């Protein structure tokens, strides 16, 4: 069984989200995506928002595995490997 997970909502909302990101992100820099979930948004946004560096993250191990599977299938120079991050932890 593959670790790569699929969320149908991503296909429906990714272009609308991308339009907002293009309007609001600076032209260069790094983007930390919190709670990246399946990883589908990361692999879709990273090449379309280059040269910005896209850093996916998630707390859950199964999501990290899914993000890794997506990034291996659809590599991108501006997409980093996922990191484990608990955004609710004050130490972050």
Residue 78 lies in a domain: yes
Q: What is the mean pLDDT of each run of 10 residues along the chain (92 residues)?
A: 88 98 98 98 98 98 98 96 94 80
Full residue range of the structural domain in which residue 85 is found: 31-92
Residue 10 lies in a domain: no
Q: Give all strands of the β-sheet with 30-33 in edge-to-edge order.
A: 30-33, 53-58, 83-84
Global pTM reads 0.92
Residue 57 lies in a domain: yes
Residue 14 lies in a domain: no
For every residue of 28-78, DSSP letters joined together read: SSEEEESS-TTSHHHHHHHHHTTTSEEEEEES-HHHHHHHHHHHHHS--TT
Residue 75 lies in a domain: yes
User: What is the reported pLDDT for 91?
Assistant: 85
Residue 84 lies in a domain: yes
How many structural domains compose the chain? 1
Query: Do residues 26 and 53 lie in contact, with contact meaning Cβ atoms separated by under 8 Å?
Result: no
Residue 52 lies in a domain: yes
């Amino acid at each position: 069984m593959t670790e790569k997970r699929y969320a149908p909502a991503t296909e429906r909302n990714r272009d609308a989200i991308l339009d907002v990101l293009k309007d609001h992100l600076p032209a260069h820099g790094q983007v930390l995506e919190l709670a990246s979930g399946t990883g589908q948004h990361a692999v879709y946004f990273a090449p379309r928002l280059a040269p910005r560096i896209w850093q996916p993250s998630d707390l859950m191990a199964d999501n990290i595995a899914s993000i890794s599977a997506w990034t291996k299938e659809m590599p991108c120079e501006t997409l980093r490997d996922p990191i484990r991050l608990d955004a609710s932890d004050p130490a972050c």
